[in-house]
Chains A and B, each alone.
Chain A
Amino acid sequence: MFSSEIRDHLAWAGGLLASLAAATIAVAIQPERTPFDTALPLLVVTVALLGSFCRSSPLSQLLAAIVGVFPVAALIPGTTLRHLAYGSLFAAALVTATACLQVRGRIPRSAAIVVTLGAVVPYRLFVVVSVTELAVGALITASVIVLLHFMALSRTLRLEAMVLAIAAGFATPLHPTRAALYPLVVALLIAALRARSLVMTAAAVLAALAAGKWALLIVAVTAAIAWFPISKKNARSMVGIGGGTMAVPLSIAPLFRSLAFAPGTFLTVRRSRSGAAAAVLLICALFVRQALTILMALTALALLVSEDEEASPSMPMLAFTILAAVLVPWSGTLPATWPLPLSLIGIGAVTVISMAGSGRSSIPGVLCAAAFLVALFATGPWRSGSDHAVGIALAPGQSVTVDPERESGSFDLLLSGANIAALPRGTSFASLEIIDSVGQAFRRDVTVGEVTDWAALRGDQFFRSRNGTPSRNAGTITGFGSTAFLRSSGAIHLSLTRPVKAISVSADPGLPETGRVQIEAFRFGAW
């Protein structure tokens, strides 16, 4: 009666409707509904739309299965497991769609836009708390599309370029609002470098002026190199020097060793001006505040990748990368382990893994992936133990004596600050006088960096915060999706041979008038 094509259309439409109905019902009966649950029907539509672009491929069957299974995931009791299921299924859908749409290791620009929108829109627009954030999210999404447009060569992109665009979509901060122009700035920079166009450079400068001083720094570095009258030979020397400089700190960590000497196309000196600009940006990234590190690193990688005309042979690596990248925002996996809002380090690490996985050999990428996962385990705030709450706040100059109430000489004292986000790392914060069971006293000074403002990692504070990140962070995750943040809390580890009898905590008198030292808890048995 109908042609095969019409029947396929009808099957997809019917599937979407049935799945949508299932998702709506599944969410309605969920007793503990989270914003992710509420967004589920929209997510189903997103995956179904992705599937509609891939209908001609055999892999579209897989997408159909994912569309169907998505609502069933909403029935899983337990928020974490449910979110993990959403994240995994959504990641699987994106990877499948990418596999459908790529052509011999490159992806058409239009297809890349579809997949990128599929990844970024749910994160930016489905879980929001205000209209302003919705508008900013939309602006970021639009900027990402412009970025994809300018990264394409002959209307196709390397798969890594698409991953970078997705990463930029995740990493661009909501606060301050004007930072939403970050992907646009990068897009214009790429266009300026590629065409050596004054108009584009001017546009990039204008966009950077609107975005903030940090963006201007990025543009200035890149534009200076773009217009600097250097020969190709000199450019190679510059990149060589830059690369060498980078290699020193990177080689300290075995984690990154394989990355720095990846035999692939990453960090090769062929890319003259882009390579030089990227090298300089990467060096700068080491010295700027943490919120800017990831943005500079992403810019550098975008400059490198956009110049490359090669195909990406490493589909498995891409699959892994997107899987990890999408798990970041949707499952709360990384927010629970990395002490940054929006898991910027996680996004950065995933992006770097993707880049390292490119080229002829995938071994460095695999090593990076393994190291990344081990690092997830080895870091983070989840060294949980048995907490004994204290709950005291001290004004500058005040002091109090607290009793751990347990016969132990080894435990963590959990501290945080309030209204101190503007203080730079290393500022004196508080001092501890620890008295053991025989009355012997020990003194321990605490600085900002070991302990941060409790909201230093919240979206609206993080970009401006100069507190750094505690190496032993004992915070808890609050919120969902792009609004999730780690309620920061520094764990000061005390290890005495004899049990501690009392601790006198004194807030530094030099703290701001509204600043507070918050004694949150004793934590026993953490590791």
Chain B
Amino acid sequence: MVSAITTDVFLATALAVFMAIFPYATLKPSARGRYALVDALSYALLIGLALLIRPLGLDVPQSLYFPILLMTKVTLFVVVVALYGEDAVRWSPNHAALFAGAIFALMVPHVLTSPIDGDEPFYLMVTQSMVEDHDLDLSNQYRTIATSPTRRPDIRAQQGDPIGPHGEHYSRTEPFLSILLIPGFLLGGLAGAVLTMALFGALLVRSVMSLLEEEGISFRTSVIAFWFLAFGAPVVFYSTRIWPEVPAAFFFVEALRASRQRRGARLLFSLAGLVLLKLRFIAVAVVLLPLAVFRSGVSRKFLAASAILLVPIVIVWWISGSPFNVHSLRGEVLPAEWWKVGRGLFGLLLDGQAGLMLQAPILLLGVFSLARWREAPETVKLGVFSSLLYLFLLFPRDEWHGGWAPPLRYLVVFAPVLILSAAAAIDRMNRFAALLLLALWTCVITIHGVGFPWRLFHIATRENFVGEWLSLQTGADVSRMLPSFIRPNLAAIVAAVLFCVVFQACLVLGVMKIPRWYPGPFAVALFALALVLLYARGMRPGTLVDFEDAHVVHSGGELDPEQYTVARFLYRDGWRVRSGDVLTFRYAGGPSNIFYKSSEPISVSVDGRQSFLPGTGGRWRSAPLDIPRAAGRRELAVLTGSAVLDRLETR
């Protein structure tokens, strides 16, 4: 903890030094004075607020101080650049990349105060293996895991990882990202590897800014879009994490730009990079290449050269013994259950935990902007078409929300397209108050994610951090008011219907070319009213209690399966209880069913009424429970036996 605080103090100093140099070097002399005032005031205000935290009795974790400082300073500078305009500031894609890259680099030590997670250690171990053993076999790395540069001594080979003919342990991850990490790893180990990712983050920013410029987006809007892209989810999180998504986004944007500029060689190079990073991106490449040839006018000779895209497949085949690595073609291409397509689609858009609506609302604006298809920039159209196949294959997968990864993992690569679409909408709308609200929320998400890096790896429930916090504070299941497609609920259906209605309305208005009028005050107030009504409803006892949720007060027991179970999203989760454990919660009551699994009969009491639940042989079953309707909190006590309790639901 002391080390984390020391790191943050050092980083805050480094940030202050950087922000005392870069903005003044970028701003022209006429604007420096005004910026100096804003700069000094922001420091005064931040210091004042920090000093007031204690007297106000507020409980603000110290790990949030640096992210708050970072976002305040960065945002102020970007606002100044946007307001002063191009006459008062030297601002180009290179400046944007330099600025974003420096900020990402500053975030790296802070992020590394918590261990790397998900696929990250495996990417790094492959890099280490290539550097030290000159092979891809991770057996050595697993043997010496206690001293591994991953700082994760608990890492083991995952079930289903490819095994070589002589017992070699390969990683299921594609090796190209690990190759890219080699220079950084050689220079600085784990930190160097993560800094390499920050470099790719900066390259992505540069590409997107160039794209915005090429598409004729106004200076002010492009600066706003820069802020949302670089310092909002998901790019900001993946720019300081070892995942292939940010480099992939960079290659994707470069491929789109190459298509627009009819530069075939560059297009092929970019697509090869994209597919090498993750085989799954071949679904993007096989659509984009023909589009580039037949729609954008890239020379047809490059269609023949597209055989280069087979190289990654050959490499994967060589390593894993299968052209599709650990995945099966049938499982990847044909959805087992078609309803999951809708769940994945709306989940990625609207899920209260992992969807665009919560994590990156600016990208949702980009989605809505697609309703005005005819006015959309050509690159957006190209990007959307080329992502459709990939997304269609993604939706039905159970891990559409990214699994054990920072949010919106699978959409990072398309974030630039959605940002461009959103930028076009911002240019059209000119509603800065709405933007302000989006920016405030984006700030909250970023500060939370940077402040608590480990919370980016949230287990897939229906709860997000706001819902959890409110549930803990109020003891009520406020989270159930959030649309969840992970554990589908009524709010999810309502949200999906509303989305369709609004999108359809935008579409009709766009097609009929009806001049738009935004009832700003009314719309905002109506939104607030809806939030308040949802909250009021959430404060009332519900008819469903998931026993592992934050609003349930657990006196004993533990999460099941445990938090770090591999591919946990494949399991049905619950709360493991034993004799003597007590759970309290708000519940409406009435004739109910309790869902549980146990290998033996158990006896429970709910509000003092004793009930016996038969053993289920370790399978999920339900049993009736008659619970009287009453106000106040309910108490479920386990008298004898042990079980995993899933949920309690009125019949």
Contact = CB atoms under 8 A, between A and B. Distances in A.
A380 interface: yes
Contacts of B526: 14-15, 18, 68
Nearest to B47: A373
Contacts of B532: 22, 25-26, 71-72, 74-75
Contacts of B48: 369-370, 372-374, 376-377
A64 B520 contact: yes
B52 A29 contact: no
A257 B434 CA distance: 43
A18 B528 CA distance: 8
A29 B536 contact: yes
Nearest to B50: A377
A19 B37 contact: no
B522 A18 contact: yes
Contacts of A68: 521, 524-528
Nearest to B470: A77
B109 to A, nearest CB: 28
Interface string A25-41: 11011010000000000
A229 interface: no
A18 B529 CA distance: 6
B305 interface: no
A320 B524 contact: no
Interface stretch (A78-86, A178-186, A496-504): A78-86
A198 B41 CA distance: 45
> Which of A11, A317, A333, A374 has the most chain B CB atoms closer than 10 A to its own CB?
A11
A472 B521 CA distance: 48
B631 to A, nearest CB: 13
A7 B517 contact: yes
Interface string B53-71: 0111110000000000000
A337 B49 CA distance: 13
A12 interface: yes
Contacts of A231: none
B433 interface: yes
B442 to A, nearest CB: 15
Interface in A351-384: 362, 366, 369-370, 372-374, 376-377, 380, 382
Contacts of A377: 48, 51-52, 55
A67 B44 contact: no
Chain B contact-residue range equals 35 or more
Contacts of A373: 44-45, 47-48, 51
A15 B436 contact: no
A376 B526 CA distance: 39
Given A64-B433, A370-B43, A376-B48, A22 B57 contact: no
A21 B531 CA distance: 12
B167 interface: no
Contacts of A21: 529
Contact of B531 (A58, A72, A77, A80): A72
A486 B43 CA distance: 29
B57 A80 contact: yes
Contacts of A71: 528-529, 532
A372 B52 CA distance: 12
A10 B520 CA distance: 11
Contacts of A10: 519, 522
B525 A25 contact: no
B55 A51 contact: no
Contacts of A31: 474
Contact of B41 (A7, A74, A316): A316
A4 B517 CA distance: 9
B58 A320 contact: no
Interface string B458-481: 000000000000100110000000
A337 B433 contact: no
A62 interface: yes
A195 interface: no
Contacts of A25: 529, 532-533, 536
A432 interface: no
> Which of B436, B437, B523, B525 has the most chain A CB atoms closer than 10 A to its own CB?
B525
Contacts of B519: 7, 10-11, 14-15
Contacts of A153: none
B264 to A, nearest CB: 46
A376 B527 contact: no
A80 B533 CA distance: 23
A61 B40 contact: no
Given A337-B55, A370-B47, A380-B55, A64 B528 contact: no
B473 A369 contact: no
A11 B522 contact: yes
A69 B470 contact: no
B45 A320 contact: yes
Nearest to A362: B37
Nearest to A65: B433
B43 to A, nearest CB: 7
B338 interface: no
B536 A72 contact: no
A435 interface: no
B283 interface: no
B136 interface: no
B44 A366 contact: yes
A77 B473 contact: yes
B521 A336 contact: no
A372 B51 CA distance: 11
Interface string B477-519: 0000000000000000000000000000000000000000101
Contacts of B527: 68
A378 B526 CA distance: 43
A434 interface: no
Nearest to A23: B532
Contact of A80 (B56, B524, B525): B56
Contacts of B536: 25-26, 28-29
A382 B54 contact: yes
Contact of A29 (B57, B434, B535): B535
A29 B58 contact: no
B38 interface: yes
Contact of B522 (A14, A84, A376, A380): A14
A62 B433 contact: yes
B75 to A, nearest CB: 15
Contact of A366 (B40, B57, B58, B436): B40
Contacts of B57: 80
A71 B533 CA distance: 11
A377 B630 CA distance: 48
Contact of B529 (A22, A369, A382): A22
A336 B56 contact: yes
B432 A61 contact: yes
B521 A15 contact: yes
B221 to A, nearest CB: 15
Interface string A468-511: 00000000000000000000000000000000000000000000
Contact of A369 (B44, B470, B524): B44
B78 interface: no
A14 B525 contact: yes
Contacts of A117: none
B431 interface: yes
B79 interface: no
B539 interface: yes
Given A316-B41, A366-B41, A382-B54, A72 B528 contact: yes
Contact of B528 (A19, A48, A320, A333): A19
A65 B436 contact: yes
Given A11-B521, A18-B522, A376 B51 contact: yes
A140 interface: no
B82 to A, nearest CB: 14
A336 B55 contact: yes
19 contacts: A10-B519, A10-B522, A11-B521, A15-B523, A19-B528, A29-B539, A61-B520, A64-B524, A65-B437, A65-B520, A67-B521, A68-B525, A68-B528, A69-B437, A80-B56, A333-B56, A337-B52, A366-B41, A369-B41
Given A69-B528, A382-B54, 4 more contacts: A12-B522, A65-B434, A75-B535, A370-B40
